[in-house]
Structure 1
């Protein structure tokens, strides 16, 4: 069963949790965990044995929750709890999770991935004004600001959908350019290197 199938099953589990009306019903559902087989997708991240994909119990308090990303066998959930933006790193193999408070900026895009050099899970928070990008590392358990390079200066919008591949997080974005004196918005791929913590933009062909 490939990663996207596992992702769909977990999304169904999340939807099921929030349809429940009482704690008693919730506990009954959680006492019957779904068993799925996580098969290695080529990077050795996922175990081949059967594991329980029962979600962390405190996620019952989350709302507007989604799967932000999957990297090196870790899932990252994003949502709200008690009025705060929260992210959760979850390792289904060892049934451990860590919750992180995300900076509360308007229209912030958040990305998730694992640094291939240090195996350190990271979050990157990109505010709408792009002025103060922050990075969270699990090893430090803290957010810190980073200096952004020129690749981020022309970006005008970033989609929430992301993918983490080969040590980088990728988003579909739009940047501003000038053609014959006119402002033109172009489709680009924005990447964030999880090791160097630098942004790069890749322009897409006009035919895409």
Structure 2
């Protein structure tokens, strides 16, 4: 019995028919998984770049606003809560790329100021709102032995990235790994200038 098993294994080891198919069955799943990971993380980096561009534009706008409302009407905050001047207009600049109140075309349809229902922008799940927070803080730094205080504007948001919709049903491994949504944090800082 052992001789038969050994002869079968010996014949199997020297036989080359089907070797390419066997190698492909072993290698292709890893290549496909690796390629889908490249696409997914490339998508995350692309979305983060768009969000950081919006935050940069919004932070630049706020950095140019004076705290007194008499300098520029655009810097006046419509919420009138007194925290950061111009944050309503700045948020519109971040999300829509313009200060126009009638703008409807978002920079990226999945990054939005208000929640959206299922199916919006080709997603399987509802899109969450991604509010932007602005703050102005004093930073101290030493320049040539002298301590200097500089105001810095920070625009910050958290964005829930959803796994690409065309991969989600076909790739349950993302769900098994707990990667159905990934929180992307983005922020931008600008030196406070005023008008």
Given the two structures, how large is their TM-score scaled by the length of structure 2?
0.24
| Bigger share in strand | 1
Compare CA radii of gyration and give the structure with the larger one: 2
| Higher relative contact order (Cα pairs below 8 Å, separated by 6+ residues) | 2
